Amino acid sequence: MTRLVVSGLRVDRAHLPVVRDVSLAVESGRISVLLGANGAGKTTLLEGLSGVIPVAGGTIEIDGHDIHRARPGARVAAGLAHVEQGRTVFRQLTTDENLRAGACAASDVAAAYELFPELLPRRDVPAGLLSGGEQQMLVIARALAGRPKILLIDEMSAGLAPTIVRRLMATVRRLADQGLAVVLVEQFAVLALGVGDRAYVLRRGEIVYDGACAALRDAPDMLHQLYLGGSGDGPA
């Protein structure tokens, strides 16, 4: 049982506070969905968690150990994996090399192909030549090959066809059911709410909703307002 507890987190970008006073808790077997419009601070929050950018305040604890000052590499060792947005495959490396670069042992690579059999026929192809969906599978598989306990995924569905998104969502659900703690950052809310357990909604860097995914799913008006603004929120 792993717990990631974040409290009072503040992350700045170019000296501007982009994430302000965010607290959340994530645990094994659960998918936490992080929603919000573009620019709400979702990506910055994940980058603060994984150490891509330094945090300006607050704490990040994995099973009671504060890691908010550790380098990204040390956070990986503590069990955190971060799948960045934009499908950051090593383009000049083949699919297999991408997996091996992240793997602890050969068995991890084999496990990756089991999870995503689509990648097996593409194993010797440079990752830059894979389709968007295959690249997304590859970066998730590459992160899993390092045997993380907590998986942060940023904008998994951006630019992908709906069938692929459903396929990936189902896989993420299965991973969580097997004991992984997942934080899913999504701009496309509905599908994510379909597989997630708990939802957080960010607006201008602050959490404005914290509750069950199901409750948010059943309130489309609320969702619509969160994304497209207008009605009921300030003098629009």
Partner 1 sequence: MKRASLRPVLAIVVAAVVAGAIITGLLPGYWTYLATAVLISAVALQGIGLVAGRTGMIALCQMSFAGVGAWTVGFLNVGGAPGGLAVWIVIGGLAAVPFGVAIGLPALRLRGINLAIVTLGFATAFDAILATITFPGQTRFISVARPAMFDGDGGYFVFALLFYVALAVALEFLARTRLGAIWLAVRHSERAAAAHGISIPRAKLSAFAISAFIAGISGGLLAGYLGTLVADNFSMMQSLVLFAVSTMTGAQFAEGALIGGILAVAFPEILRRLDLGQDIGNLLFAIGATQALSAGEAMSETLRRKVRGFRGARPAAPHPGVAIAPPAPPPRHQGVALATRELGVRYGTVVALHGVDLTVPEGAVVGLIGPNGAGKSTLIDAVAGFLHAYSGSVELGGRAVDGQPAHVRARNGVRRTWQTTRIAPELTVGDYLRLAGGDLPEEQVGAILSWIDCPHPDTPVASVDAGTRRLLDVAGVVAARPKVVLLDEPAAGQSYDETLKLGRRIAEIPNLFGCAVLLVEHDMDLVRAACSEITVLDFGRVIAAGPPAVVLEDPRVRKAYLGIEEGSAAA
Partner 2 sequence: MNALLTSVVAGLTGGGAYGLLGVCAVFTYRLVAVVNFTAAAIGTTGTFVLVMLYEAGAPLWLAMACGLVAGTVAGIAIGLVMTAWFAESSASTKAAVTVALLVGIVAIGLRLTGGQHPHHFPDLFPGSAMRLAGVELTFSSLLTIGLGVVFTVLAETFLTRTRMGLHLRALSERPMAAELIGVPVRRLAVLVWGITGAVTTFSLMIIAPQRSPDFASLSLLVVPALAAALIGLFRSFWITLVGGIMIGVVEGTMSVFPGLSQYRGAVPFLIILAVLLWLQRGARWDEAR
Using an 8 Å Cβ cutoff, are 28 and 77 in contact? no
Closest CA to 150 of 104, 182, 194: 182
If contact means CB under 5 to 8 A according to the sort of partner, which of partner 1, partner 2, none does residue 132 touch?
A: partner 1
Strands 150-154 vs 80-83: parallel, antiparallel or unpaired: parallel
Q: Which amino acid is at 165?
A: V
Among 88, 171, 187, 225, binds partner 2 (CB under 8 A): 88
Choice between 132 and 179, CB closer to partner 1: 132
Q: Which DSSP string corresponds to 85-102? A: TT----TTSBHHHHHHHH
| The pair of three-digit structure tokens given for residue 155, joined into one six-digit string | 């904008």
Name the residue among 174, 37, 155 with its Cα closest to residue 87: 155
- In the bound complex, what is the minimum distance in angstroms from residue 59's beta carbon to partner 2? 21
- Contact partner at residue 129 from partner 2, partner 1, none, CB < 5 to 8 Å by partner kind: partner 1
Round to whole Å and give the CA distance between 217 and 99: 35
Q: Using CB under 8 A, which of 1, 16, 64, 92 touches partner 2?
A: 92
Q: Which residues sit at the interface with partner 1, rule CB under 8 A? A: 13-18, 37-39, 85, 128-129, 132, 155, 157-159, 162, 165-166, 186-194, 204, 217-218, 220, 223-224, 227-230, 233-236
* Binding-site member from 6, 31, 67, 81 for partner 2 (CB under 8 A): 81
**Running DSSP on this structure, what letter comes out for residue 171?**
H
Query: What is the closest distance, in whole angstroms, from the C-beta atom of residue 102 to partner 2 in the complex?
Result: 4
Count of residues interacting with partner 2 (CB under 8 A): 24
105 lies in the binding site for partner 2 (CB under 8 A): no
Stretch of 54-62, 74-82, 153-161, 191-199 contacting partner 2, by CB under 8 A: 74-82
Angstrom distance (rounded) from CA 34 to CA 41 = 10
CB 180 within 8 A of CB 149: yes
Using CB under 8 A, list all residues that contact partner 2. Answer: 50, 52, 71-73, 76-77, 81-82, 84, 88, 90-93, 97-98, 100-102, 142-143, 145-146
